[in-house]
A and B are shown apart, each in its own frame.
Chain A
């Protein structure tokens, strides 16, 4: 029977949660403030902690931080439950170490479902292991408009959440890069500035060009106006990759739907290449044609990941057909999400905007799969 520690200064909430979680088969421990919650967690670490944010003396974020900082409680699952409902509150909770976040008022069944889901997630046996060298993940498709940028952006946010560290996100699309737009960021210095002829693309210059997003993603944005990359840009990309690898656990790259020199540099340098295919005839045709080219880049078969993105409500091709046509398994399927256009319009990554949506869950799972792939 999993144990859940509920920390909330509101006694009516404690009573309701005690009743709901006990009925759902949890062994419940209650704490009326942050400090006593920490003491109870340290004395007997629970499987899950449900933590309120607005508590006097020690707020819920600080409780999360202290739980994560203590080796005895570092690996317990944490859900933050609060009436503060802004996107920034969710980001703050996740940065503080929470696994998930729910806004009051919440129905007990939703909380129980989330508790079961969070507990089902694989957890590290010890404190999170840092990568000595960052991992370079390139997201690519020769067919445009099938959700490559959207996947790259949300995947980067998922990695930042997973690793609880800043993650780099590169937009290498010189003609029409939309990463900054999707994150509602204004970049004064872009990839074009970093790679301009005669420029010095060192760590300081790179740091100046990386725009910080509140999710923990640092973005190297594409130029705002379409432009042809400078002649040595591909070499510039090859040069900045080791710099990024030394500073970030993950580097995610969004690419243009082309095989120009800059894109090829990212395709060659990456540790995992995600080839996005949509469940439509044209995208499949393009993927069939591009796979032989991608195989010549020297990646092992297990480092070339086929991801099927359902970018329409009713896909015209089933997964089995895609897999058969491309003669390799589909490593992940991203379901269709009707709320995606609104999230893009508002410049909020779907994984933050609708974290419980099937699409967000699928992307989080993909990030986890890739992480495990590197660990193994």
Chain B
């Protein structure tokens, strides 16, 4: 079997781009048998331990201003995280909550960012349920694109985003969903 060159340290580590209002932090997190979604939505822990963190300012996201072997991130300050698709979904018994065949195009504003993407639902998207009564703090956006409000040329994309709904100041959705493949 061919093995992909992953380069994220020992197995069980995933490289994630975290975005706060001012910084981009590219770091590795230990997921073991869980996913990044599980870790960010684990309400028992308010921080996340990361390894090999490389920090860039949002105004110059390609320029690395510092690196540290180990760091702690406060979950409530993370605007969104760029993660591989398989890491964006919850694992185990929580997995059933993320099905659905409808995709709604959504747009939201976060501190320093404008984010667009798609939300998958089983039925009609209930904005209130999604944004206010949702159990999970970090919600999944697929086909995402984030734009820095003050530097609109700086955009970020990825397979999926985990967006901190508690930091969303405005959340909009298209009325007509599309059928997911």
Contact = CB atoms under 8 A, between A and B. Distances in A.
B2 A214 contact: no
B54 to A, nearest CB: 5
Interface in B101-145: 145
Interface stretch (A11-19, A68-76, A367-375): A11-19
Contact of B7 (A13, A87, A88): A13
Contacts of A89: 62
Nearest to B28: A83
A88 B59 CA distance: 11
Contacts of A185: 153
A83 B7 contact: yes
B154 A13 contact: no
A54 B25 CA distance: 11
A85 B152 CA distance: 19
How big is chain B's contact interface, by range?
20 to 34
A82 B62 CA distance: 12
Contacts of B152: 184, 186
Given A105-B6, A346-B145, A83 B26 contact: yes
Contacts of A81: 5, 7
A54 B62 contact: no
A105 B84 CA distance: 11
A106 B5 contact: yes
A56 B26 contact: no
Contacts, number: 93
A108 B61 contact: no
A91 B54 CA distance: 17
A104 interface: yes
Nearest to B84: A105
A361 interface: no
A12 B10 contact: yes
A136 interface: no
Contact of A106 (B4, B10, B15): B4
B52 interface: yes
A107 interface: yes
Contact of B2 (A13, A53, A83, A107): A107
A92 B156 contact: no
Contacts of B7: 8, 10, 12-13, 52, 81-83, 104-105
Given A59-B54, A81-B7, A86 B2 contact: no
Interface string B1-43: 0111111111000010100000000100000000000000000
B2 A88 contact: no
B5 A108 contact: yes
Contact of A86 (B63, B67, B156): B156
B54 A54 contact: yes
Nearest to A83: B15
B17 A86 contact: yes
Nearest to B68: A56
A86 B159 CA distance: 11
A16 B64 contact: no
Contact of B5 (A20, A54, A61, A186): A20
A17 B155 contact: no
Contacts of A56: 52, 67, 69
B148 to A, nearest CB: 10
Contacts of A184: 152-153, 155
B5 A13 contact: yes
A87 B155 contact: yes
12 contacts: A10-B8, A13-B7, A16-B5, A61-B62, A82-B7, A83-B26, A87-B157, A88-B154, A104-B6, A105-B7, A107-B4, A108-B2
Given A84-B15, A85-B82, A184-B155, 4 more contacts: A8-B7, A59-B64, A108-B3, A214-B153
